[in-house]
């Protein structure tokens, strides 16, 4: 299989590229390296096209002869989207439309796109089923709702085989700290290893369905291999729920000593609780198994310690 990964130099994309290459797939990546890193691909034999998905000619060239696309290219982060809503819209909403149009024009058979649990927003339901109402709280969440809905619209309007996954707080080796929009687990691990307090926005009761990147990539690759399509979005998480306070406890246990924390005001646009109903995922991918949080954190911690 010839697989194109947009945003393939990023955290999830590079992990997916490594898994795909391990299974002898040909991998093409298009990434402008605005948030990805070239060294994420060290040791991989991939065809990297350093360009934006909004560059129509570069995208068309990257799509030539491709069997399936995993569209991960995006500007992540709720705070970044609040600081610059237009940039988030262009990268995520317009970028997705460009990728889908490019796939349609190139005759690509199958496209998987990455949406986000942030689309549920103000909906307090726990767990969150894909047929629950959505109420995005940030420009980022709106852009991800556009991402999934464009994919489903192309399925209905043009017959393109698509699958829209809603990601829930993916973490694991390769996810970096040290930048303004880093995710909570790499921030916590980085601070813990430096002996600094762990920053918590709010009271620490905010909870997330943390999902290990290995299980996510296995699902993505199986989806492309079997050309899985679905007429509705699919939660890509396994129905776990961990508060930030509990996350601190898990890391303390792994490191063998208590960790200090410092509390900051809650951030605007943040969802209070995120927990997936995984019924649809389990029906479509019955052989995929979640990675326990303690195990995933241990592997992530090892990656940080090696660096």
pLDDT-derived band at 217, boundaries 50, 70, 90: very high
Please list the residues that pair with 301 across neighbouring strands.
none
Rounded Cα distance, 16 and 73, in Å: 13
Tell me: the pLDDT tens digits for 27-81? 999 999 999 999 999 999 999 999 999 999 999 999 999 999 999 999 988 899 9
Residue 73 near residue 102 (C-beta atoms within 8 A): no
* Confidence bin at 178 (pLDDT 50/70/90): confident
* pLDDT of 140: 96
pLDDT reading at 220 higher than 70: yes
Higher-pLDDT residue of 227, 205: 227
CB half-sphere exposure, 53, CA atoms < 13 A: 30
- pLDDT bin (cut points 50, 70, 90) of residue 177 is confident
* 3-state SS assignment for residue 49: strand
The reply to whether omega before 206 is within 30° of 0 (cis) is: no
Nearest alpha-carbon partner for 199 in 186, 209, 210, 216: 186
pLDDT bin (cut points 50, 70, 90) of residue 132 is very high
Q: What's the token pair of residue 304?
A: 């940080």
**Three-state DSSP class for residue 155:** helix
Mean pLDDT over residues 93-99, rounded?
Answer: 98
Which structure tokens are listed for 59? Answer: 């995208």
Between 239 and 100, the higher pLDDT residue = 100
* DSSP H or E segment with residue 96: helix 95-106
Report pLDDT for 156. 97
Segments making up each domain of the chain, as ranges: 2-168+211-238+274-291
E strand residue ranges, 117-237: 161-167, 170-171, 198-201, 207-208, 211-212, 234-236
Q: Over range 90-118, report the average pLDDT.
A: 97
Which pLDDT score, from 0 to 100, does residue 181 have? 67
Closest CA to 110 of 27, 23, 226, 16: 226
Q: Which residues contact 208 (CB under 8 A, 6 or more apart)?
A: 168, 169, 184, 241, 242, 244, 274
Average pLDDT over residues 168-188: 88
- Range 285-307 burial, b when 16+ CB lie within 10 A, else e: beebebbebeebbeebbeebeee
pLDDT band at 180 (very low <50, low <70, confident <90, very high): low
What is the rounded distance in angstroms from the CA atom of residue 43 to the CA atom of residue 41?
6
Determine the pLDDT at residue 194. 94
Least confident of 52-66, 110-124, 262-276: 262-276
Note the pLDDT of residue 266. 82
**Helix (H/G/I), strand (E/B), else coil: 118:** helix
pLDDT averaged over the chain?
94
Query: 236 pLDDT exceeds 90?
Result: yes
pLDDT tens track for 190-209? 999 999 999 998 888 888 99
Give buried/exposed letters for 57-94 (b at 16+ CB in 10 A, else e): ebbeebbeebbbbbbbbbbbbbbbbbeeeeebbbbbbe
Report the alpha-carbon distance of residue 124 to residue 118 in Å, rounded: 12
CATH architecture of 2-168+211-238+274-291: 3-Layer(aba) Sandwich (3.40)
Peptide bond before residue 127 is cis, with ω within 30 degrees of 0: yes
Cα distance between residue 232 and residue 145, in whole Å: 12
pLDDT at 267 over 80: no
Residue 165, beta-bridge partner list: 114, 234
In degrees rounded to 5, what are phi and psi of residue 33? 60, 25
Q: Give the residues across from 263 on adjacent strands.
A: 200
Q: Which residue has the tokens 């460009």?
A: 98
């Amino acid at each position: 299989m010839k697989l194109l990964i947009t945003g393939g130099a990023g955290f999830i994309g590079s992990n997916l590229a490594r898994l795909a290459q391990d299974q002898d797939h040909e991998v093409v990546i298009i990434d402008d390296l605005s948030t990805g890193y070239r060294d994420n691909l060290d040791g991989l034999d991939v065809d990297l096209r350093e360009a934006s998905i909004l560059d129509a000619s570069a995208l068309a060239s990257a799509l030539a002869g491709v069997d399936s696309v995993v569209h991960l290219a995006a500007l992540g982060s709720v705070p970044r989207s609040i600081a610059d809503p237009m940039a988030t819209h262009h990268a995520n909403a317009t970028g997705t439309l460009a990728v889908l149009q490019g796939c349609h024009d190139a005759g690509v058979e199958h496209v998987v796109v990455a949406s986000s649990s942030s689309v549920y927003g103000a909906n307090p339901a726990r767990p969150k089923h894909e047929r629950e109402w959505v109420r995005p709280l940030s420009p980022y969440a709106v852009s991800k709702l556009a991402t999934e809905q464009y994919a489903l619209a192309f399925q209905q309007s043009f017959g393109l085989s698509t699958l829209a996954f809603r990601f829930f707080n993916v973490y694991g080796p390769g996810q970096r700290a040290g930048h303004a929009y880093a995710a909570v687990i790499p921030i916590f691990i980085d601070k813990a290893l430096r002996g600094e307090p762990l920053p918590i926005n709010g009271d620490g009761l905010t909870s997330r369905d943390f999902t290990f990147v290995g299980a996510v990539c296995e699902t993505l690759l199986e989806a492309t291999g079997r050309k899985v399509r679905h007429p509705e979005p699919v939660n890509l998480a396994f129905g776990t729920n961990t508060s930030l306070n509990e996350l601190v406890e898990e890391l303390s246990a792994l490191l063998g000593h208590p960790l200090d924390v410092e509390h900051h005001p809650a951030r605007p646009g943040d969802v209070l609780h995120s927990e997936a109903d995984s019924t649809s995922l389990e029906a479509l991918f019955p052989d995929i198994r979640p990675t326990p949080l303690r195990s995933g954190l241990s592997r992530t911690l090892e990656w940080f310690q090696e660096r």
